[in-house]
A and B are shown apart, each in its own frame.
Chain A
Amino acid sequence: MNEPVIRLQEVRKTYPMQAGDVHALKSIDIEFAEGEFTSIVGTSGSGKSTLLYLLGLLTQPSSGLYWFRGRQTDVMDDLERSRMRGREIGFVFQSFHLVPQLDIQANVMLAARYSGATGNGVPLETKAKELIERVGLSHRFGHRPVELSNGEMQRVAIARALLTSPSVILADEPTGNLDEENGAHIFELLQSLSADEGKTVIMVTHDLQLADKTQRVVRLKNGEVISS
C-alpha cells in the first residue's frame, strides 16, 4: 500500500484564551491518500477550518505528530514549512482572497512569488495563461477581480492554486459564496484535479450533498473525528 500523503497522529490544537483554553482539535488521527478527494464536514466550531489550516502548515499542532509526504512537519522551522507549503500545497478560499489591485494574471502569478516554482521549462507567464484558459477565463485577461463574478473569482483562485503544480489542494468552503451553477462548476474542477491529475483534494464544506459526491467524508464534532 502506498504511503499516505498526509498523516496525523494524536494531533491536538489548543488556543489559550483569557476565559480558559479552547480545544479546537482533540486527538486527531487521520491519513489522506494520494489522489483522494475528501470532504470535511461538521457544524460551525467543530474544528473543520482549524484542521484544514493545520494540514496546510499555516498553524502548528499544540501536540501530536504530523507527516507530510513522509516528512515530520512539527519539527520544521518556519522557512522549511513555508517552502513546503508554497511548493506542495495549493489553497482555495471561500472569500477567494484575490489582490484587488492586480489583474487576474498577476493574481495567478503571485503563487510563484514565494514557492520558487519555475514552471518546469515553461515560462510562468505562459503557465498562468494556460491555467486561466483551463478554468475558462481566457476572455477575462487584463481584468481585475472587481470586474469578475464570484464564480469567476473562484476560478482565478483555483488557477492560482495550480500554478506551482502542488500535490495537495486544500479548499475552505470553495462553493460557499457561489450560486448553485457556479458551485457545481467549481466542484467539477476540483473533482477533475483529483481524478485526472491525481492531486489530493481536501475540501471543507457545509454542503452535505456536495460532500457526498466526494470519495470520502470526514465528519468532525467538537474537535474530534466522529467518522471518516
Chain B
Amino acid sequence: MKLFFESWQNLMLHKTRSGLAALGIIFGVASVICMLSISEVARQDVIGRMERMGLKNVIVDSIKPDRLRRRERQGSDESWSARYGITRTDLEVLADNVPAIESIVPMRVMFKDVVANLRVSDITVVGTTAAYSSVMEHAVDSGRFLSNVDEASASAVCVLGYDAAREIFPLVSPINEVVKVGGIHFTVIGVMEKKGSTGTTGALADPDNIAYVPFATSFARYGKMQVRRGQGTSEVTELEVNRAVLRVKNGDLLLPVAQIAENLLEKRHHQEDVSVTVPLELLAEQRQAERIFRWVMASLAAISLLVGGVGIMNIMLANMAERRQEIGLRRALGATQNEITSLFVSESTVLCAVGGLLGMAVGAALAQGIGFLAQWEVVYQPLSFPFAFGVSVLTGLLFGTLPAVKAARLDPVLALRVE
C-alpha cells in the first residue's frame, strides 16, 4: 500500500506527463466499456424480441411469391388478382396432424380505414382469435380481449392496441366507444397493454398500433378477397392468413414441430409462399452473429489497450532515462534492484489503474451519448467494469515490467555520474 502511495506521489510530481501517458489507457478502457455496452444492448434486444415472439412458438408467415414481387417492382399498369399464403384449411390440417401443437393463432391483416371522431387513423386491423392474448403473451390493460363467443358469432367488436387507443381516444376511455372499420361499426371492448416491437417487419411489427377484431368477423364482414385500388388499376389478393403462430405443448418439441409444419405446408403449396421460423433458431443465429461481433470488439479493444500499453512503456522508458540520477540515488540509499523494479512496475500499474478508472467513466459517458443519439436504452454488462479495470491493471504490470527491469539494472555508478 505504501509502495502504491509512493508511486502515486511520484506520478503526481509529473502531472502532465502522467496524464498524457494515461490517455492511451483511458481511451482503450473507454472503448472496451462502450463496446461491451453496445454488445449488451444488442443481446438484450435479441432476447427481448425472442421473448415477445414467444419461447414456445413457431411462426408461420405468408410470403408474397416471386412473380408477384416482380410484378410490383415493374409497376405494371394492369389490374391483377392473386391467391397465395396460408389458408384456414392449412391451419386445420396442422391442427389435425400435429398433436404437439397446443393452439394455433391466425392473424389476418386487413387494409381498412379506422375512423373515429371523424378522424382517419393510421392503424392496422388484424383479425385473430381469443388465444392471441395468451399465446403472444400480450395481456389486456383494460376491458377484455376477444372471446370464443365473439369468434363464433362473428361479432363487430374490437380490441385496441395501447398506442392505437391513445391515438383514437386521447381523452376518454375507449371501452364501449364505437369505431368505424372499413365502413362497419365496431364496439371497443378492450385495450391491450403496451408490448413493444416484435422485431419483425411488415404490418404485424408493431402490436401496439393494431385494432384486433375476431378472425371470423374479418371474413364474415369483408370476405376472402382484399382489394387495393391504384390509378385505374386494382390488385385483388386472396390471402386468408398473414401469420399463424403455433403454440407447442412442450418446448423440447419446438424444432420437430417446425420441421413437420414446414413439410406439411410444402406438400400443400405449389409455390414458395410460406415460411416457417422458430424464434429460438433466430436466437441461435443472433448469438452466432453476436459472438463474431464480440470477437471483433474484443480484438479492437485488445489493440486499443496494446497501443495504450506501448504508450505506457515508452513513457516509462523516457521516465527511466530522465530519472537516471534518482535511480542511482535510491540505490545509494539502500534500494535493491527488486525494490527499483517494484517501484517502476507499481508506478505503471497505478497509472494504468487510474487510467482504467477514468476510462470506465469516459466509456460509460460515451455509451450514454451513443445511446442518446441512437435512441436506445443503455445497458452495461455487469462484469465489464471489473474486467476493464483488471485488463488495465494487467496492462500496467506487463508493459511496466521492461522499463522497470531496465531501471533496476542501471549501473548505479553510471547513473550517479553527472554528464
Residues of A within 8 A of B (CB): 49-50, 53, 56, 58-59, 78-79, 82-83, 85-87, 91, 93-95, 97, 99, 101-102, 110-111, 113-115, 164
Contact = CB atoms under 8 A, between A and B. Distances in A.
A59 B412 contact: yes
6 contacts: A58-B413, A86-B333, A97-B328, A97-B329, A110-B329, A113-B334
B329 A87 contact: no
A85 B325 contact: no
A50 B334 contact: no
Contact of B331 (A50, A58, A94, A164): A58
A97 B413 contact: no
A85 B326 CA distance: 16
A106 to B, nearest CB: 9
B383 interface: no
Contacts, number: 68
The interface centre, meaning the residue of A58, A102, A164 with most chain B CB atoms within 10 A of its CB, is A58
A86 B328 contact: no
Q: For B326, B330, B334, B418, which residue has the most chain A Cβ atoms within 10 angstroms?
A: B334
A78 B337 contact: yes
A95 B416 CA distance: 9
Nearest to A59: B413
Contact of B334 (A53, A59, A87, A95): A87
Contacts of A87: 334
Contacts of B332: 56, 58, 85, 91, 97
A92 to B, nearest CB: 10
Given A53-B413, A58-B413, A97-B416, A115 B329 contact: no
A95 B331 contact: no
A146 to B, nearest CB: 13
A101 B339 CA distance: 21
Contacts of A94: 418
A203 to B, nearest CB: 16
A146 B338 CA distance: 30
Of the four ranges (under 10, 10 to 19, 20 to 34, 35 or more), the interface on chain B belongs to: 20 to 34
A56 B333 CA distance: 10
A40 to B, nearest CB: 15
B331 A82 contact: yes
A91 B330 CA distance: 11
A78 B334 CA distance: 10
Interface of B: 6, 13-14, 325-326, 328-339, 411-413, 416, 418
Given A99-B329, A114-B333, 12 more contacts: A56-B332, A83-B334, A83-B336, A85-B333, A85-B334, A86-B333, A94-B418, A110-B333, A113-B333, A114-B330, A114-B334, A114-B339
A50 B14 CA distance: 33
Contacts of B331: 58, 82
B250 to A, nearest CB: 70
B320 to A, nearest CB: 15
A120 B183 CA distance: 103
A114 B332 CA distance: 10
A141 B328 CA distance: 25
Contacts of A113: 6, 330, 333-335
Given A95-B418, A97-B416, A82 B335 contact: yes
A137 B336 CA distance: 31
A114 B343 CA distance: 12
A58 to B, nearest CB: 5
Given A50-B413, A53-B412, A114-B330, A79 B418 contact: no
A192 B336 CA distance: 31
3 cross-chain pairs, A with B, having the tightest CB-CB distances, nearest first: A86-B334, A114-B334, A101-B13
Contacts of B328: 97
Nearest to B408: A78
Contacts of B338: 78-79
Q: Which of A94, A102, A113 has the most CB of B within 10 A?
A: A113
Contacts of B412: 53, 58-59
A49 B325 CA distance: 16
B416 A93 contact: yes
B336 A78 contact: yes
A48 B191 CA distance: 99
Contacts of A50: 413
Contacts of B326: 97, 99
Given A95-B418, A101-B13, A115 B334 contact: yes
B275 to A, nearest CB: 72
Interface centre among A56, A82, A91, A102 (most CB of B within 10 A): A82
A111 to B, nearest CB: 5
Contacts of B333: 85-86, 91, 110-111, 113-115
Q: Which residue of B328, B329, B330, B412 has the most chain A CB atoms within 10 A of its CB atom?
A: B329
A113 B330 CA distance: 9
